[in-house]
Amino acid sequence: MNGISPQLQNQITQFQQVQQQLQAVSSQRTQMDTQKREMERTLEELGRSTGAVYKSAGTLMIKVDDVEALKAELQESIELMDVRIGSLSRQESSLKERFLSLQSAINAAMGKGQQ
């Protein structure tokens, strides 16, 4: 990066860091969205189930005696996922804004340097 001002070098470094953070947050949000959809499908299937219900506890499958309690537990987990997904979405938006701002600043500085 010879011939580049220290300020521009700093902006490029920040840009790369924000890009990595944005990728990580986007990946986390996507994973949580997937987990939430799985929980919602599980809750739907549980509502249609008429036979015995089992849940996973580590490597064991345990018969559930109180299906309503399990439904409530799943619903609570879905609501918690919604909160986490919302938080990640806000973080993602903030990082996107910072990313675009740094990108514009770098492009402007590079354009000035070429003139």
Would you say the C-alpha torsion 11, 15, 16, 18 has a positive or negative sign? positive
The answer to whether 22 touches 95, Cβ cutoff 8 Å, is: yes
**Length of the chain counted residue by residue:** 115
Indicate whether 98 belongs to any domain.
Answer: yes
Indicate whether 4 belongs to any domain.
Answer: no
Q: If you average pLDDT over residues 2-25, what whole number do you get?
A: 92
Indicate whether 62 belongs to any domain.
Answer: no
The pLDDT tens digits of the residues spanning 54-109 come to 999 999 999 999 999 999 999 999 999 999 999 999 999 999 999 999 999 999 98
Q: If you average pLDDT over residues 5-13, what whole number do you get?
A: 92
Can you list the alpha helix ranges (DSSP code H) found in the chain? 6-48, 67-114
Name the β-bridge partners of 57: 60
Alpha-carbon separation of residue 67 from 47, 54, 60, 78 (angstroms): 9, 9, 18, 16
Indicate whether 21 belongs to any domain.
Answer: no
Q: How many domains does the chain have?
A: 1
The pLDDT tens digits of the residues spanning 20-63 come to 999 999 999 999 999 999 999 999 999 998 889 999 999 999 99
* Domain with 99 in it: 82-107
Indicate whether 90 belongs to any domain.
Answer: yes
